[in-house]
Chain A
Amino acid sequence: MSDTAKPPGSTDELGLVKFHIIAAIVWLVAGMLAGTFMGYRLSGAGASEWLGDIELLSFGRVRILHTHMVVFGWLSNGFFAFSYYAIPRLTGRRLLARGIAKLNAPLVQIAVLIGGVGIIMGHAEGVEYAEAPWWADLVFAVSFVLMVFVCVGTILTSKVKSMYVTLWYLILGFIFTTLNFVMANTIVAHVAPGAAGAALEGLWIHNAVGLWVTPMGAAIVYYLLPVELKRPIASHKLSLIGFWTLAFFYPLGGSHHFFYSPTPWWLQVIAVPLTFALIFVVYTVVYNFFATMKGNWKMIAKSIPLRFLTFGIINYIITCTQGPFHALLSVQQVVHFTDWIVAHAHLALFGVFSWWLFAFIYWIWPRITGHGYSRVFAEWHFWITLIAFWVLYYIADTTAGLMQGMFWLTTLPLMNSIEAAEPFWATRAVSGVLITVATICFIISLMKKGKEGMEVANVSE
Chain B
Amino acid sequence: MSANKENAAEKPMFVLMFAGFGCFLLSFIGMGLGPWISLAATMEPPEELAANPYKDENGETNAIGRGRETYINEGCWHCHSQFVRPVANEEFRYGPVSEAWESMYDVPNTFGTRRIGPDLSREAGRRSDDWHLAHLWNPRSTVPRSIMPKYTWLFEKDGETWKPTDKANDLVAYLQYLGIAKKEEVRKMVWPSRVVVAGAPQLTDAHSRRGEELFNKHCTGCHGENGDGVGLAKDFLAPSAADLTTRYLPREEVFRVLFMGSEGSAMPSFSELTEKDLWALAQYVHELGKDVRKPALKTAEDSAAVERGRAVFGKNGCKSCHGESGLVPEAMEGLKPAPKHFRDRVYTADYIAHVLDNGRAGTSMGKYPQITGQDRSDLVAFLNSLFDKQKYKEE
Chain A residues near B (Cβ < 8 Å): 41-45, 47-49, 52-53, 55, 58-61, 63-64, 122-128, 131, 152, 155-156, 158, 160-163, 167-168, 171-172, 174-176, 179-180, 183, 187-203, 205, 207, 211, 237, 243-244, 247-248, 251-252, 254-255, 257-264, 266-267, 271, 333-334, 336-338, 341-342, 405, 408-415, 418-419, 422
Query: A284 to nearest B CB, angstroms?
Result: 15
Name, among B100, B118, B273, the residue most crowded by chain A CB atoms within 10 Å (CB to CB): B100
CA distance A267 to B148 in the complex (A): 34
The answer to whether B74 and A45 have CB atoms under 8 Å apart is no
Query: Given the interface contacts A192-B107, A251-B23, does A267 sit within 8 Å of B34 by beta carbon?
Result: yes
Query: Given the interface contacts A262-B103, A341-B113, does A207 sit within 8 Å of B12 by beta carbon?
Result: no
The answer to whether A193 and B23 have CB atoms under 8 Å apart is no
Q: Which residues of B contact A195 (CB under 8 A)?
A: 35, 39, 100, 103, 109, 111
Q: Can you sample 23 A-B contacts with CB below 8 Å?
A: A42-B147, A47-B147, A60-B76, A126-B72, A128-B78, A162-B6, A175-B16, A188-B108, A193-B109, A195-B103, A196-B32, A196-B39, A196-B40, A199-B35, A203-B32, A205-B113, A207-B27, A237-B1, A251-B27, A263-B35, A342-B114, A409-B88, A411-B89
Apart from A254-B27, A413-B272, what are 20 other A-B pairs with CB-CB below 8 Å?
A42-B147, A58-B151, A59-B149, A60-B76, A60-B149, A124-B74, A155-B12, A156-B12, A193-B105, A194-B105, A194-B107, A201-B109, A203-B31, A247-B18, A251-B27, A255-B35, A263-B39, A264-B100, A267-B31, A415-B217
Q: Which of B70-84 contact A (CB under 8 A)?
A: 72-79, 81, 83
Query: Given the interface contacts A125-B108, A195-B100, A197-B106, does A64 sit within 8 Å of B78 by beta carbon?
Result: yes
Q: Which residues of A contact B77 (CB under 8 A)?
A: 126
CA distance A160 to B99 in the complex (A): 54
Q: Which of B198-241 contact A (CB under 8 A)?
A: 217-218
Query: Given the interface contacts A48-B146, A408-B93, does A333 sit within 8 Å of B24 by beta carbon?
Result: no
The answer to whether B109 and A203 have CB atoms under 8 Å apart is no
The answer to whether B24 and A262 have CB atoms under 8 Å apart is no
The answer to whether A193 and B32 have CB atoms under 8 Å apart is no
Contact of A194 among B6, B104, B115 (CB under 8 A): B104
Query: A186 to nearest B CB, angstroms?
Result: 11
CA distance A414 to B139 in the complex (A): 15
The answer to whether A161 and B7 have CB atoms under 8 Å apart is yes
Q: Which of B312-359 contact A (CB under 8 A)?
A: none
Q: Which of B127-146 contact A (CB under 8 A)?
A: 139-140, 143-146
Q: Which of B22-58 contact A (CB under 8 A)?
A: 23-24, 26-28, 30-32, 34-36, 38-40
CA distance A127 to B110 in the complex (A): 8
Query: A34 to nearest B CB, angstroms?
Result: 13
Whether B361 sits at the interface, judged by CB under 8 Å, is no
Whether B19 sits at the interface, judged by CB under 8 Å, is yes
The answer to whether B116 and A418 have CB atoms under 8 Å apart is yes
Q: Which residue of A lies closest to B36 (CB)?
A: A196
Query: B141 to nearest A CB, angstroms?
Result: 12
Q: Which residues of B contact A180 (CB under 8 A)?
A: 24
Q: Which residue of A lies closest to B88 (CB)?
A: A333
Q: Which residues of B contact A412 (CB under 8 A)?
A: 272-274
Q: Which residue of A lies closest to B78 (CB)?
A: A63
The answer to whether B87 and A333 have CB atoms under 8 Å apart is yes
CA distance A336 to B83 in the complex (A): 12
The answer to whether A199 and B149 have CB atoms under 8 Å apart is no
Q: Which residues of B contact A254 (CB under 8 A)?
A: 27, 31
Query: Given the interface contacts A199-B35, A252-B27, A408-B89, does A171 sit within 8 Å of B113 by beta carbon?
Result: no
The answer to whether B10 and A176 have CB atoms under 8 Å apart is no
Query: Given the interface contacts A61-B74, A200-B36, A337-B113, does A45 sit within 8 Å of B147 by beta carbon?
Result: yes
The answer to whether A411 and B35 have CB atoms under 8 Å apart is no
The answer to whether A334 and B12 have CB atoms under 8 Å apart is no
The answer to whether B106 and A171 have CB atoms under 8 Å apart is no
Pairs of residues from A and B, 4 with the lowest C-beta to C-beta distance, nearest first: A175-B20, A194-B103, A251-B27, A60-B75
Q: Which residues of B contact A422 (CB under 8 A)?
A: 147
CA distance A67 to B150 in the complex (A): 21
Contact of A156 among B13, B39, B81, B147 (CB under 8 A): B13
Whether B15 sits at the interface, judged by CB under 8 Å, is yes
The answer to whether A156 and B16 have CB atoms under 8 Å apart is yes
Query: Given the interface contacts A337-B113, A408-B88, A418-B116, does A52 sit within 8 Å of B81 by beta carbon?
Result: no
Query: Given the interface contacts A198-B109, A251-B26, A262-B99, does A45 sit within 8 Å of B13 by beta carbon?
Result: no
Q: Which residue of A lies closest to B87 (CB)?
A: A333
Q: Which residues of B contact A176 (CB under 8 A)?
A: 19-20, 23-24
Q: Which residues of A contact B149 (CB under 8 A)?
A: 41, 48, 52, 58-60
CA distance A405 to B24 in the complex (A): 34
The answer to whether A418 and B109 have CB atoms under 8 Å apart is no
CA distance A187 to B86 in the complex (A): 28
Q: Which residue of B lies closest to A274 (CB)?
A: B31
Q: Which residues of B contact A52 (CB under 8 A)?
A: 149-150, 152
Query: Given the interface contacts A126-B110, A266-B38, does A261 sit within 8 Å of B85 by beta carbon?
Result: yes
Q: Which residue of A lies closest to B273 (CB)?
A: A413
CA distance A243 to B145 in the complex (A): 49
Query: B274 to nearest A CB, angstroms?
Result: 7
CA distance A43 to B145 in the complex (A): 11
Query: A35 to nearest B CB, angstroms?
Result: 13
CA distance A410 to B32 in the complex (A): 35
CA distance A126 to B80 in the complex (A): 13
Query: Given the interface contacts A45-B146, A194-B105, A334-B88, does A152 sit within 8 Å of B16 by beta carbon?
Result: yes
Whether B102 sits at the interface, judged by CB under 8 Å, is yes
CA distance A341 to B98 in the complex (A): 22
The answer to whether B147 and A48 have CB atoms under 8 Å apart is yes
Q: Which residues of B contact A122 (CB under 8 A)?
A: 73-74
Q: Which residues of A contact B117 (CB under 8 A)?
A: 414
Query: Given the interface contacts A52-B152, A419-B145, does A261 sit within 8 Å of B111 by beta carbon?
Result: yes
Q: Which residues of B contact A192 (CB under 8 A)?
A: 32, 36, 107-109
Query: A121 to nearest B CB, angstroms?
Result: 9
CA distance A254 to B27 in the complex (A): 9
CA distance A128 to B11 in the complex (A): 35
Query: Given the interface contacts A128-B113, A190-B107, A193-B103, does A264 sit within 8 Å of B74 by beta carbon?
Result: no
Query: A360 to nearest B CB, angstroms?
Result: 22
The answer to whether B27 and A203 have CB atoms under 8 Å apart is yes
The answer to whether B105 and A337 have CB atoms under 8 Å apart is no
CA distance A114 to B145 in the complex (A): 36
CA distance A411 to B93 in the complex (A): 7
The answer to whether B38 and A264 have CB atoms under 8 Å apart is yes
The answer to whether B75 and A61 have CB atoms under 8 Å apart is yes
CA distance A156 to B77 in the complex (A): 42
Contact of A248 among B23, B35, B38, B104 (CB under 8 A): B23
The answer to whether A203 and B100 have CB atoms under 8 Å apart is no
CA distance A342 to B116 in the complex (A): 11
Query: B268 to nearest A CB, angstroms?
Result: 11
Query: Given the interface contacts A179-B24, A247-B23, A262-B99, does A414 sit within 8 Å of B78 by beta carbon?
Result: no
Q: Which residues of A contact B150 (CB under 8 A)?
A: 48-49, 52-53
Query: Given the interface contacts A176-B23, A252-B31, A341-B113, does A418 sit within 8 Å of B83 by beta carbon?
Result: no
